[in-house]
Amino acid sequence: MVEPEHSELSIRRQCELLGIPRGKYYYKPKETSKKEDRELFILMEILAVLRDRPFYGYRKIAHALSHLNVTRKQVRRIMRKAGLRAIYPGKNLSRPRRGAAKYPYLLKDKTIWLPNQLWASDITYIRLSSGTVYLVSIIDVYSRKILSFRVSNTMDAEFCVAALEEAILNYGIPCIFNTDQGSQFSSDAFLSILKDYDIQISMDGKNRALDNIYVERFWRSLKYEDIYLKDYQSMRELKEGVARYIHFYNSERFHESLSYETPDSIYASKFSVGELEDVA
């Protein structure tokens, strides 16, 4: 558009008439170096890995790209530069309520050998396009059966209470109920239900991060096998999707820890719904 050899108009005047900065005319794009080309190539490979394995951190990605002779340090630097990170738990949802009563941990050296002997519960968070929502579930530890769940866009105790009431209504009364010391589980509304049914209350203490490992394993399975793959956009979609997955998890998904049986079959084999056994 600009003619450097124009007989009447200077380059400056031509730029003014065209409405472009004169510096733009003189700008010469910088050629990328071999190093930059190499980093761009590695970034494309990292993105390809994350599309299939969004939960991989830089260590696993570096291992997956070992055929490219990349190092962990190199992968970490490129990921940081591009603003990439793995999907991982970030929020602490286990903060105790100020002044809440603390209960002892009752599961040390205890053998769990029947359904409804021990239930456990935990909360996780899920990001939707509209914001963060919270999911609570209740599990029968012996059978690994998910007894109930609730989704909420607030962190009050109400959705935890609703999940507990549904589980008791459908499956009877457990002997022990174990949770962390989070404010929802230490709330008066939640604890009063456990006390009304004479359910023993057990709470994880410090340095007992693995006490709720069965619920944590369920969270991992749910997120990696369903939520991260489906990318739910609304609360309604999420609730329907979680309900479908729990049905699959309880009745169809084979569990290695259960000798490839399903939670439904294990729960039904030793316990009739609604029957209370004094197994504490």
* Matching CATH number, 118-270, of 3.30.2000.10, 3.30.420.10, 3.40.50.1820, 3.30.390.10: 3.30.420.10
Q: What is the 3-state secondary structure (H, E, C) of the chain?
A: CCCCCCCCCCHHHHHHHHCCCHHHHHCCCCCCCHHHHHHHHHHHHHHHHHHHCCCCCHHHHHHHCHHHCCCHHHHHHHHHHHCCCCCCCCCCCCCCCCCCCCCCCCCCCCCCCCCCCEEEEEEEEEEECCEEEEEEEEEECCCCEEEEEEEECCCCCHHHHHHHHHHHHHHCCCCEEEECCCCCCCCHHHHHHHHHCCCEEEECCCCCCCCCHHHHHHHHHHHHHHHHHHCCCCHHHHHHHHHHHHHHHHHCCCEHHHCCECHHHHHHHHCCCCCCCCCC
For residue 144, the model assigns a pLDDT of 95
pLDDT tens per residue, range 167-198: 999 999 999 999 988 889 999 999 999 999 99
Please say if the pLDDT value at position 121 is more than 90.
Answer: yes
What's CA 166's distance to the chain center, in Å?
Answer: 23
CA distance 111 to 108: 9
For residue 277, the model assigns a pLDDT of 44
For residue 96, the model assigns a pLDDT of 57
Q: What's the whole-number mean pLDDT along residues 254-265?
A: 89
For residue 99, the model assigns a pLDDT of 54
Percent of the chain with pLDDT over 70: 81
Please say if the pLDDT value at position 57 is more than 70.
Answer: yes
For residue 238, the model assigns a pLDDT of 96
105, 89 in Cβ contact below 8 A? no
For residue 98, the model assigns a pLDDT of 56
Residue 11 Rama label (left phi>0; alpha psi -120 to 50; beta): alpha
Q: What's the whole-number mean pLDDT along residues 102-106?
A: 87
pLDDT tens per residue, range 123-138: 998 988 878 899 999 9
Domain residue ranges in the chain = 34-82, 118-270
Phi and psi, residue 191, nearest 5°: -65, -35
pTM over 0.75: no
For residue 28, the model assigns a pLDDT of 64
CA distance 110 to 193: 24
